[in-house]
């Protein structure tokens, strides 16, 4: 949530900061602001509203400074307002900071600083940080870059909670300092210029070389150098990462919205995720894992832990793991897993799925699992992200940047990779080769079938136009079809704000059917052949009560009285959620467009949930 950017170099900082904030708008925010160091004085401009509005203000200011920080804020402490927006400066305007995260002991610190003469303008937890830095800085007899770093270091030791911080000081116009704990921060390396950011896409048009800070690491950044320090302020070496995402991946490239672009990128993101892991005539390759038969044979239980869409991808992996590998598997919400004392030991494998690699609850759950002796495996889309540094093993989807808040290509890439991972486990354990051969063939066909599915979307677009004013939508499914239903329901509520719920079809008579009335819309996914007759019977029950029905199926349904049927290509039964979700993604998208809503940036939501 929120977005930090910073720049130091030879160019005017203001337009570069505005561009960086624009690239991070997908993270969700309600206000924006920046600080430019102008002739050894801060020029801080903040505004409730969009980055575009901030840009209109700053463009009139003739800002020429070449060092600055900027921020998009999502209100936590204090309502959205210009005063509560970041950056925040200390009482003397010596320090200016941007901060992502939550300072849990801010009231205690605020009281301490108030007793020492510091005044506060905002309601935020963040404003204690620059004042605390100033407090420690002022205690030093002489002021140098080392004093600046030392003051930041001591101040952060007083902070309880999570933070990613960028700091400027008027005494040192040639450096900025960055530090993180439990909140993401990357540092981009340029030629005569350097950058800080909450996420890689902010500066892909400037650099593809990034450093990833670990918890409690500090960076002192000038235009020509980046030095790293630990909590003892001992200099440390860090490896730089080359991020090969195309800068145009963070642009719309002619599409009206990022979400639509990312829906259409799914054939390629699936193809890239398959990569060199899979071929028909050779065993699956996961060089980064290299699990042995002995190791996998000792795994008595697998936990799949994630949040939201990633968790729904895990539901499909559970079905594959239990049916193909015969390993008992549970899927858990990360925010619950970390508090319910799960039964974990050295014979447990915990798989953590997160697109960004920065999801706070998922990272905390991984740390818990490691503390209990489990083997941990992270599935992420971002190299060098926090979770990839914490996990014992890591494997990556290759979906490229996903900008729209509502996940599409990350979800289908996750199921694809998890499917290949299951084949790898099964081959290592010596499981049924006939099933695995069909799975391999079907996965390799997925990009073409996804392209086929996206080649004509007229029916789903027209149906969305017919029903977009509906107030309640219910999704039904059995087995793997439930997984598509619950993800489809999430997509709809995320971007259309229509009340939507998903149920197992067999649970309909145990309460939910009381909600069905004339013209209620019921969406059902029908791909599981063994459960087809039972599922159709459930749908007939809602039709009898006057409901409209949208059916997503890979079967030919004759003599049906369904309102609308959308056909998807057939594939291996375990992979049907990859294809059946695509019409539901499009359905949610076009419903939202019909309602005139902001598809990419739905209200109250953020792309990366980096606080609990």
pLDDT at 515 over 70: yes
43-47, 432-436, 493-497: least confident range: 432-436
**In-domain check, residue 145:** yes
pLDDT grade, residue 324 (50/70/90)?
very high
pLDDT grade, residue 273 (50/70/90)?
very high
Taking only the tens place, the pLDDT of each residue in 375-384 is 999 999 888 7
**In-domain check, residue 552:** yes
User: Which of these three, 417, 436, 454, is where a domain ends?
Assistant: 454
Taking only the tens place, the pLDDT of each residue in 88-145 is 999 999 999 999 888 989 999 999 999 999 999 999 999 999 999 999 999 887 777 7
**In-domain check, residue 349:** yes
Residue 608: its pLDDT value, please?
A: 57
**Are 273 and 385 in a shared domain?**
yes
Active site residue 593: no
HSE-CB for 611 with a 13 A CA cutoff:
19
Active site residue 567: no
**Are 405 and 493 in a shared domain?**
no
Domains of the chain: total = 3
**Are 377 and 502 in a shared domain?**
no
**Are 504 and 441 in a shared domain?**
no
**In-domain check, residue 605:** no
Give the burial string for 285-316 (b: 16+ CB within 10 Å, else e): ebeebebeeeebeebebbbbbbbbbbbbbbbb
Q: What is the CATH number of the domain that holds 392?
A: 3.40.50.10490
**In-domain check, residue 578:** yes
Q: What is the CATH number of the domain that holds 49?
A: 3.60.20.10
**In-domain check, residue 124:** yes
Could you give the percent of the chain with pLDDT greater than 70?
A: 97
* Burial class of residue 333 (count of CB atoms within 10 Å of its CB; 0-12, 13-18, 19+): middle
**Are 362 and 269 in a shared domain?**
yes
Q: Active-site residue among 2, 169, 284, 307?
A: 2
pLDDT at 596 over 90: yes
**Are 176 and 77 in a shared domain?**
yes
Domain span holding position 586 = 458-594
User: Which of these three, 249, 278, 298, is where a domain ends?
Assistant: 249
pLDDT at 609 over 70: no
Q: Give, in degrees to the nearest 5, the angle at Cα 566 between 560 and 570.
A: 100
**Are 74 and 119 in a shared domain?**
yes
Q: Active-site residue among 46, 181, 548, 607?
A: 607
Residue 356: its pLDDT value, please?
A: 85
**Are 195 and 216 in a shared domain?**
yes
**Are 469 and 417 in a shared domain?**
no
Locate all alpha helices (DSSP H) within 185-286, ordered by sequence. Answer: 258-264, 266-274
- Residue range 604-608: mean pLDDT, rounded: 65
* Burial class of residue 343 (count of CB atoms within 10 Å of its CB; 0-12, 13-18, 19+): exposed
Residue 249: its pLDDT value, please?
A: 64
Give the burial string for 489-503 (b: 16+ CB within 10 Å, else e): bbbbbbbbebebebb
User: Which of these three, 232, 249, 266, is where a domain ends?
Assistant: 249
Given the structure tokens 């499009």, which residue do they identify? 586
Could you give the percent of the chain with pLDDT greater than 90?
A: 67
Residue 247: its pLDDT value, please?
A: 61
**Are 468 and 431 in a shared domain?**
no
- Residue range 363-367: mean pLDDT, rounded: 92
pLDDT grade, residue 246 (50/70/90)?
low
pLDDT at 233 over 90: yes
pLDDT grade, residue 8 (50/70/90)?
very high
pLDDT at 458 over 80: yes
Residue 606: its pLDDT value, please?
A: 61
**In-domain check, residue 397:** yes
**Are 134 and 173 in a shared domain?**
yes
- CA dist 143 and 170 (Å) reads 12
**Are 293 and 432 in a shared domain?**
yes
**In-domain check, residue 389:** yes
């Amino acid at each position: 949530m929120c977005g930090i950017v910073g720049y130091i170099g030879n160019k005017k900082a203001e337009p570069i900061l505005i561009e960086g904030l624009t690239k991070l708008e997908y993270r969700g925010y309600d206000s924006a602001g920046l600080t430019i160091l102008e002739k050894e004085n801060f020029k801080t401009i903040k505004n409730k509203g969009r980055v575009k509005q901030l840009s209109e203000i700053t463009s009139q200011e003739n800002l020429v400074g070449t060092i600055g920080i900027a921020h998009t804020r999502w209100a936590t402490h204090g309502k959205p307002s210009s005063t509560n927006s970041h950056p925040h400066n200390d009482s003397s305007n010596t320090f200016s900071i941007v901060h992502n995260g939550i300072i849990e002991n801010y009231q205690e610190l605020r009281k301490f600083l108030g007793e020492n003469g510091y005044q506060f303008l905002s309601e935020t937890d963040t404003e204690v940080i620059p004042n605390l830095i100033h407090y420690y800085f002022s205690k030093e007899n002489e002021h140098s870059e080392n004093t600046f770093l030392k003051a930041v270091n001591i101040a952060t030791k007083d902070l309880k909670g999570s933070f990613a911080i960028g700091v400027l000081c008027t005494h040192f116009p040639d450096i900025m300092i960055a530090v993180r704990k439990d909140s993401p921060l990357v540092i981009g390396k340029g030629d005569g210029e350097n950058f800080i950011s909450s996420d890689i896409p902010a500066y892909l048009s400037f650099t593809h070389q990034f450093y990833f800070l670990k918890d409690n690491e500090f960076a002192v950044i000038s235009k020509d150098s980046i030095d790293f320090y630990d909590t003892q302020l001992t200099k440390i070496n860090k490896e730089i990462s080359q991020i090969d995402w195309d800068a145009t991946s963070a642009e719309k490239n002619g599409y009206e919205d990022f979400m639509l672009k990312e829906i259409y990128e799914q054939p390629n993101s699936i193809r890239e995720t398959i990569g060199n892991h899979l071929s028909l005539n050779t065993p699956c390759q996961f060089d980064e894992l290299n699990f042995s038969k002995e190791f996998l044979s000792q795994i008595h239980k697998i936990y799949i832990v994630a949040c939201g869409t990633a968790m729904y991808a895990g539901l499909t992996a559970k079905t594959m793991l239990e049916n193909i590998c015969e390993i008992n598997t549970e899927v858990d919400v990360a925010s619950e897993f970390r508090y319910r004392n799960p039964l974990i030991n050295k014979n447990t494998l915990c798989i953590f799925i997160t697109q960004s690699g920065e999801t706070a609850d998922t990272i905390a759950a991984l740390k818990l699992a490691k503390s209990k002796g489990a083997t941990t495996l992270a599935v992420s889309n971002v190299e060098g992200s926090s979770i990839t540094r914490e996990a014992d093993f890591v494997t990556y989807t290759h979906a490229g940047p996903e900008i729209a808040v509502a996940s599409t290509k990350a979800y289908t890439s996750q199921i694809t990779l998890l499917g290949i991972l299951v084949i790898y486990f099964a081959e290592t354990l010596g499981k049924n080769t006939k099933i695995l051969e069909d799975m391999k063939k079907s996965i390799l066909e997925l990009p073409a079938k996804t392209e086929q599915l996206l080649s004509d979307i007229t029916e789903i677009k027209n149906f969305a136009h017919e029903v977009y004013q509906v107030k309640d939508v219910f999704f039904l499914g059995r087995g793997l079809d439930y997984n598509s239903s619950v993800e489809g329901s999430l997509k709809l509520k995320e971007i259309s704000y229509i009340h939507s719920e998903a149920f197992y079809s067999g649970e309909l008579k145990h309460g939910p059917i009381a909600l069905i009335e004339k013209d209620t819309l019921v969406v059902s996914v029908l791909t599981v052949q063994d459960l087809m007759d039972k599922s159709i019977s459930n749908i007939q029950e809602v039709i009898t009560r006057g409901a409209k029905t949208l059916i997503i199926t890979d079967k030919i349904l004759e003599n049906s009285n369904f309102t609308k049927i959308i056909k998807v290509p057939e594939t291996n039964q375990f992979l049907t959620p990859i294809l059946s979700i695509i019409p539901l993604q499009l359905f949610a998208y076009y419903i939202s467009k019909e309602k005139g809503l902001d598809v990419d940036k739905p209200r109250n939501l953020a792309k990366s949930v980096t606080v609990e």
